[in-house]
Structure 1
């Protein structure tokens, strides 16, 4: 499997979730399973089956996070030479040329992306069109509703 680019913040967020799952959620589930076993026949014990199902989801998520962390290529924007170009981890202010609407996006890994919070995936069409460009460059992005042109107003490395 190839390396997955992630920001240092994204890795920390996954580590926090992993610790929570292992140290809080998993013990609660184990306790719920042991308590539900005390109620008799396991075939008809809804509490037992619900706890086992929750355990399966928890263990699957733990394995998923561990795999992502194992394959993560941590890119810390603070360690990158600032070339004045859009790179992974940079925050970009852009302007929709036709509507005049401004947007602020930070380019992050797939697992970190959250469009509502201004975090876009490195693999999204808009991020791919911005990578390597400079302030005042105009980029064209293919969208389902047609080509949209954006002008880069500012690039920050935070």
Structure 2
């Protein structure tokens, strides 16, 4: 199985960049301090082996530190871009509607091509480095594209629409 790597740059709108930067500052400041205080308070209770509050706080601290590293890496690689033009060409920042060849139009699926960390409510996000994302990047509305799925099958999709993400 081949390991998928993230692209060198992560496409973000200015709004998405600002939201992720604010989340990072919150995690590195108040959230981190609150968890450290909970760990300290639980440690003061004594025996750590049977202290559920201590173990829960340590687990939460691990998750927070992981998210901080993820955000720092993403923001370091971020490329701030304007909303792409509404020209029907698939590129990061576009909402893409597609269907598998042979399916009915009512089985079409829609997603945002971009950084998965900025997943807006109600809209799936595919990375440009994903098998589908890399296959359709640069293609146009109406194009039929083949790509190899992670399970090794070759799939064929028709791009029904590609419009700029405005959320």
TM-score range, shorter chain: 0.7 to 0.9
Deviations 1:48-104 (A, max 9, x none): 56545543443343233223212212233x2x3444311111111212222222111
Gaps (5+ residues) in structure 1? none
Is residue 26 of structure 2 the alignment partner of residue 5 of structure 1?
Answer: no
SS at match of 2:67: helix
Residue correspondences, number: 153
Q: TM-score, normalised by structure 1?
A: 0.74
Is residue 87 of structure 2 the alignment partner of residue 75 of structure 1?
Answer: no
Query: Which residue of 2 is the match for residue 15 of structure 1?
Result: 21
| TM-aligned CA deviation for residue 107 of structure 1 | 0.4
Paired residue for 1:147, among 145, 151, 154?
Answer: 154
| TM-aligned CA deviation for residue 127 of structure 1 | 1.2
Structure holding more helix per residue = 1
8 Å Cα contact 2:95/2:162 also seen in 1 = yes
Deviations 1:116-137 (A, max 9, x none): 8321111111111111111211
Cα distance in structure 1, aligned partners of 2:99 and 2:44: 63
Deviations 1:22-49 (A, max 9, x none): 3442222232234235435x76683556
Query: Which residue of 2 is the match for residue 55 of structure 1?
Result: 61
SS at match of 1:133: coil
Paired residue for 2:103, among 81, 99, 103?
Answer: 99
In structure 2, do the counterparts of structure 1 residues 5 and 45 end up closer, same or farther at CA, with 3 Å as the change threshold?
A: same
8 Å Cα contact 1:3/1:73 also seen in 2 = no
In structure 2, do the counterparts of structure 1 residues 36 and 7 end up closer, same or farther at CA, with 3 Å as the change threshold?
A: same
Paired residue for 1:123, among 112, 123, 129?
Answer: 129
Highest Rg: 1 or 2?
1
